[in-house]
Structure 1
Amino acid sequence: MKSGRAWNWAGFWALWSLSIALQVVLAGRFRGFVGDQMIFDSWMRRLQQVGLAGIYESPRVDYPPGYLMILDLYGRIANFFHIRVVPGGLWIKLPGIAIHAVAMIAFFLLAKDTPGKWRWFVVALFCLNPGLLFDTAVWGQVDILPGILALSAVMALRKRAGIAGALFSSALLSKFQSIVVFPVLAVGEVREAVTAGHFRRLGRFLAGVAVPLAAVALFFAMHGSLSNMVEMAYMRPTAEYPFLSMNALNIWFYLFGTPPRLPDSTVLFAGVTYKMLGMFLLFLATVHVALYLWRRREITVEALLKASTVLSFSFYMLPTEIHERYILMALIFTIAVSLWDKRWALLAAGLTITSFYNLYAVCYRALDPSLGLWMVYINGGIFVAMLIMTKKEMVLPHPR
C-alpha cells in the first residue's frame, strides 16, 4: 500500500512538474494581456507605499483583498531579491503560476477517492488544461485562485462544514464571483439541518463563513477604510461595464441578434431591460439548482459539485455584463464532476475548447463574430445538457 501511494505521488509530481514547466515557458514566451498585468504591477507598487489598509484610496483597485495580500507579499520578496517585475514578462505572472502550483496539489488531494486510471485522466485534464494554463501563464490572471477555493469549499461541505464555510469566505475575499456557489452551500446545509433535525452543522458552516470575513472587516475597520474597501472591491465592479456582454460567448453574443456592446439598460418591453431579463434567467437557474438538491435522496459530494457547475455556468451564460474569464470557474467544477460521472468529461472537453478560444481571441483581439457564434452554440449545447442531466436526477421527492 505504501509503495502504491508513493507511486501515485511520484506520478503526480511528474505531471505537476510538466505543468509548471509549460507555464514558465509560456509566461516567458508570450506577453499576454499586458493591460491587466500593468494594473497588477501598479497595485503591487502602490501596496509597498501605502500598505493594504490604504490601497483602496487608489483609483481602479477593484479586487477584494485576498489577491492583494499575495501581491503585497510578492512585492516584498521581489524587492528583497532585486527582481525587476515588468508587465509582459515572466515575473509579473509568477504569483499566478505559484497559485496554480498549489491548486494542482489541492485538486490531486480532492481526487483521492477516485480509483484507477480515470483519476489520472481527470487530474491531467486539470493540470494541463489549455484554458486554465492560458489564463495563468499567458494572460497573467489568477482566476485559478477563487476557482480552487470555491471547489474546495463545496467538496469539504459534507464532512467539514466549518472548514467549508471558511474556504468559501476565502474565495469570496479573492473574487466576488465566488458568491455563485453560496446558494449550493446554503441549500445543502439547510436541507441537512432539516432532515437531521438539528442545526449544529449549519451553525458550524455559518461560523466558518463569518471568521475570515470578520477578521478582514476588523482589519479595515481599525484603519478606517472598511466602507471604502467594500465599495471599491464589491459594489462598484457590479456596474463597471453596463453592456450585454464583455466578450463572454454567452446568450448575449449575437445569439438572438444582440450585439454584445449594446447597453443592458436598453428596454425590451414594458420597462423590462436586458439586465433585468438576464437576472431573472439566473434566478430561474438558481431555483433549478435548489430543487435539484432538495429532491435528491441524499446530498452527496457529486450532487453538490453538479449543482455548483450548473450555477457557475449559468452565471456565465445568462446575466449581462459578464467577462470572458468567468467561464473558468464553470470549467474547474465540470472537470471535478468528471471524477464521479464520466459523461461530464465530454462537457469539460467542450468547455476547454470554448474557454481557450474565448480567452485567446480576447487577449489577441481576434474575437470573430462568426467563429465566436459557433462557440456560443457549443456553450449553449453544454448548458442545456447540464440542465437535462440534473433534471433527470430529480426523480425522488424530498424524504419525509
Structure 2
Amino acid sequence: MKIFQRLSDNSLPIQWHHLLFYILLVAVIPHTGFWFDLNNDWPRWSYYAFEHGLSQIYNSDTNYMPFYLHGLYWFGKLQGSKELIYANSYQLKYFFLLFDFGCALALAWALRKYYSVKLVEYLLLFNLGYLYCTVIWGQLDSVPTTMVVLGIICLYERKMLWAAFFCTLSIYVKLQAIIFVPFFVILLVYQFSQKFDTWLLAKMLGISLLTQLWLLSPFIWGGTFWNFIKVVRESVGFFPRVSWNAYNLWYLLIKEDPTLLNDTLTFAGLTYKKWGFLLFFGLSALVFIPILARTYILIWFKKIADADYYALLWLTASTIATLFFFVNTQMHERYSYPAIALYFAYALISRQYALFALISVAHLANVDGMNKYFGLNPFKPEYTSLLFGLILLISFVKLFIQTKNIRLEYLQQKLR
C-alpha cells in the first residue's frame, strides 16, 4: 500500500500510469524483430556465455561492448537452457524498453522547471519513431542514449559522482557514444571552473575506474581482454559500406545504391570513409563554436549557466548526433535515434518543438522504410535524406543566430 501511495505522489518521477503503460507495451509488444540480432546473434552469444562463462564470450564472434554482454550472460542464466534462450530472445525487448522509459522520465523530471505542459514525457512514450527501435526492431539503442542523457543531466546539475558513472558506462554500452565525450568535457570544465575540488575529481576518477573494472574484470581474469581490445580496434570498418541502410547524405550524392558500395572506394583522391570523417569533423568544428564561446564567457566572467546555455547545450548535442548519422559512412538506419531524445530536451527548454517533430518523422521514415513493418514510407530514400538535411540546416541556422547573440553578449560584458 505504501508503494502505491508513494507512486501517487506527484513529486516523484515515476507515476502509476507509467507502470501501467509499460505493462501494456510488454503485453502487446511483437515477439518478432530484426532476425539476425534477435533470433540469431544475441541468443547464440547468450548461450555461448551460458555454456562457457561470461569471461569467455569474447572467444565467440561477438563484436559488442561489455555492458550488453553482461546482460546477455544473465539473460541466459535466467532462461536456463539453450531452447529457452532461443525461444524467449524477444524478451530482451522488455529490458531495452526500460531504458526508453528511463530516458523519457529522466528528461521530463530533470527539465521540469523549464516547461509547463503536463505529462510531457508522453511526447516520447507515445512517439512511434522513438519506440520503434525497441518495440518493433528489437534493438538496444535506447540503452547508450539513456546513459548519455543521464551523464549530461548529472554534469549540469553537478551530481558529479553519478556523472562519472553514467559517462563511463555510455562508452562501454556502445562505442558510438564517444561522439558525446566533448560535451562531458565541456560541462566538466565549466563545473570545476565554478568550484574546483581536487578530492571530488579524484573520487570521479575512482568511480570511472571502478565502473570499468566491474565491466572488464571477467575478461581480464578470463584471459580474453585482448579479444575485447580487438573488437574495439576493429569496430571502425566492421561494415565497410557507404551506407548500411541509413538514408543520409550519400543517397543524395551517389547515383548507385550506397549499401552496395564499399567505402574504401576513392573519389578525388580520398576514400568515401575519409570524406565522411572530413565532413563530420569539419562541420562539427562549426557546430561547437557557440557552446564553446558561451562556456568561455561563463568561465571568464564568472557567470552561472542559465536556461539559454542549457538549451544551447542540448541543441549542439542533437545537431552532432544528427550530423554523425548524416555524413559518415557505415551508418545503420537506427543511428539517428539518439537525436530524438536530444532534440526533445532542447524542445522542453526552448519551447520550440519543430526540430523534435521533424527528427521523429525522419527517423521513423528511415527505420520503417528499411524494415517495412508498417509500410509507412513508400517514397524513395532520397526524400528522407532531404528531411534529415533540412533538420541539419535549421539546426545550423539556430546555432548561427546563437553565435551572433553570444558575440554581442561578450562585447557587453567587456564594456561593464
Bin for the TM-score computed over the shorter chain: 0.7 to 0.9
- Tell me the SS of whatever aligns to 1:164: helix
Q: Relative to 1, partners in 2 of residues 1:227 and 1:13: Cα closer, same or farther, differing over 3 Å?
A: same
Question: What are the within-5 Å matches in structure 2 for residues 7-46 of structure 1?
Answer: 7=10, 12-28=15-31, 31-38=32-39, 39-46=41-48
- Tell me the SS of whatever aligns to 1:288: helix
Whether the 8 Å contact between 1:255 and 1:373 is mirrored in structure 2 is no
Q: For each residue in 1:258-286, what CA deviation from the matched residue of structure 2 results, as whole angstroms up to 9, or x when unmatched?
A: 531322112111x2221111101111233
Question: What are the within-5 Å matches in structure 2 for residues 114-133 of structure 1?
Answer: 114-117=114-117, 120-121=119-120, 123-133=121-131
Tell me the equivalent position of 1:373: 382
Question: What are the within-5 Å matches in structure 2 for residues 155-194 of structure 1?
Answer: 155-158=153-156, 159-191=158-190, 193=192
Identical aligned pairs, as a percentage? 20
Whole-angstrom distance in 1 between the partners of 2:187 and 2:284: 13
Q: Relative to 1, partners in 2 of residues 1:98 and 1:83: Cα closer, same or farther, differing over 3 Å?
A: farther
Whole-angstrom distance in 2 between the partners of 1:88 and 1:258: 40
The reply to whether residue 272 of structure 1 matches residue 270 of structure 2 is: yes
State the shift of 1:222 in Å. 2.4
State the shift of 1:253 in Å. 1.8
Q: Relative to 1, partners in 2 of residues 1:310 and 1:45: Cα closer, same or farther, differing over 3 Å?
A: same
Q: For each residue in 1:340-381, what CA deviation from the matched residue of structure 2 results, as whole angstroms up to 9, or x when unmatched?
A: 0122x2111111112112112222487989532111111100
- Tell me the SS of whatever aligns to 1:116: coil
Q: For each residue in 1:375-395, what CA deviation from the matched residue of structure 2 results, as whole angstroms up to 9, or x when unmatched?
A: 111110001111111221123
Whole-angstrom distance in 1 between the partners of 2:89 and 2:190: 49
Whole-angstrom distance in 2 between the partners of 1:368 and 1:169: 37
Whole-angstrom distance in 2 between the partners of 1:143 and 1:341: 25
Whole-angstrom distance in 1 between the partners of 2:125 and 2:289: 33
The one-letter code of the counterpart of 1:131 is G
Tell me the equivalent position of 1:78: 79
- Tell me the SS of whatever aligns to 2:406: coil
Shifted more, 46-55 versus 8-17: the winner is 8-17
Q: Relative to 1, partners in 2 of residues 1:231 and 1:350: Cα closer, same or farther, differing over 3 Å?
A: same
State the shift of 1:83 in Å. 8.9
The one-letter code of the counterpart of 1:357 is A
Q: Relative to 1, partners in 2 of residues 1:22 and 1:196: Cα closer, same or farther, differing over 3 Å?
A: closer
Structure with the bigger RCO (C-alpha within 8 Å, sep 6+) is: 1
Whole-angstrom distance in 1 between the partners of 2:342 and 2:257: 29
Whole-angstrom distance in 1 between the partners of 2:264 and 2:356: 33
Gaps of 5+ in 1: none
State the shift of 1:54 in Å. 0.5
The one-letter code of the counterpart of 1:46 is Y
State the shift of 1:304 in Å. 2.5
Tell me the equivalent position of 1:235: 233
The one-letter code of the counterpart of 2:29 is L
Q: 235, 255, 259: which is aligned to 2:257?
A: 259
Tell me the equivalent position of 1:307: 316
Q: Relative to 1, partners in 2 of residues 1:374 and 1:220: Cα closer, same or farther, differing over 3 Å?
A: same
- Tell me the SS of whatever aligns to 2:267: strand
Whether the 8 Å contact between 2:133 and 2:139 is mirrored in structure 1 is yes
State the shift of 1:92 in Å. 4.5
Tell me the equivalent position of 1:100: 100
Gaps of 5+ in 2: 299-304
Q: Relative to 1, partners in 2 of residues 1:385 and 1:52: Cα closer, same or farther, differing over 3 Å?
A: same
TM-score normalised by length of structure 1:
0.86
Tell me the equivalent position of 2:53: 51
- Tell me the SS of whatever aligns to 1:43: helix
Whether the 8 Å contact between 2:368 and 2:377 is mirrored in structure 1 is no
Whether the 8 Å contact between 1:188 and 1:304 is mirrored in structure 2 is no
Whole-angstrom distance in 1 between the partners of 2:15 and 2:88: 30
Q: Relative to 1, partners in 2 of residues 1:320 and 1:183: Cα closer, same or farther, differing over 3 Å?
A: same
- Tell me the SS of whatever aligns to 2:275: helix
Q: 355, 361, 367: which is aligned to 1:359?
A: 367
Tell me the equivalent position of 2:301: none
Whole-angstrom distance in 2 between the partners of 1:363 and 1:87: 22
Q: Relative to 1, partners in 2 of residues 1:108 and 1:367: Cα closer, same or farther, differing over 3 Å?
A: closer
Whole-angstrom distance in 2 between the partners of 1:391 and 1:246: 31
Tell me the equivalent position of 2:283: 285
State the shift of 1:244 in Å. 1.1
Q: Relative to 1, partners in 2 of residues 1:161 and 1:307: Cα closer, same or farther, differing over 3 Å?
A: farther
- Tell me the SS of whatever aligns to 2:348: coil
- Tell me the SS of whatever aligns to 1:27: coil
The one-letter code of the counterpart of 1:96 is F
Whole-angstrom distance in 1 between the partners of 2:160 and 2:14: 31
TM-score normalised by length of structure 2:
0.83
Tell me the equivalent position of 2:141: 143
State the shift of 1:23 in Å. 4.7
Q: Relative to 1, partners in 2 of residues 1:309 and 1:9: Cα closer, same or farther, differing over 3 Å?
A: same
Q: Relative to 1, partners in 2 of residues 1:257 and 1:53: Cα closer, same or farther, differing over 3 Å?
A: same
Whole-angstrom distance in 1 between the partners of 2:103 and 2:19: 10
The reply to whether residue 346 of structure 1 matches residue 354 of structure 2 is: yes
Q: Relative to 1, partners in 2 of residues 1:255 and 1:348: Cα closer, same or farther, differing over 3 Å?
A: farther
Q: For each residue in 1:33-75, what CA deviation from the matched residue of structure 2 results, as whole angstroms up to 9, or x when unmatched?
A: 121102111111111112221000001x111011111222222
Q: Relative to 1, partners in 2 of residues 1:3 and 1:209: Cα closer, same or farther, differing over 3 Å?
A: closer
Q: Relative to 1, partners in 2 of residues 1:35 and 1:206: Cα closer, same or farther, differing over 3 Å?
A: same
Whole-angstrom distance in 2 between the partners of 1:279 and 1:392: 26
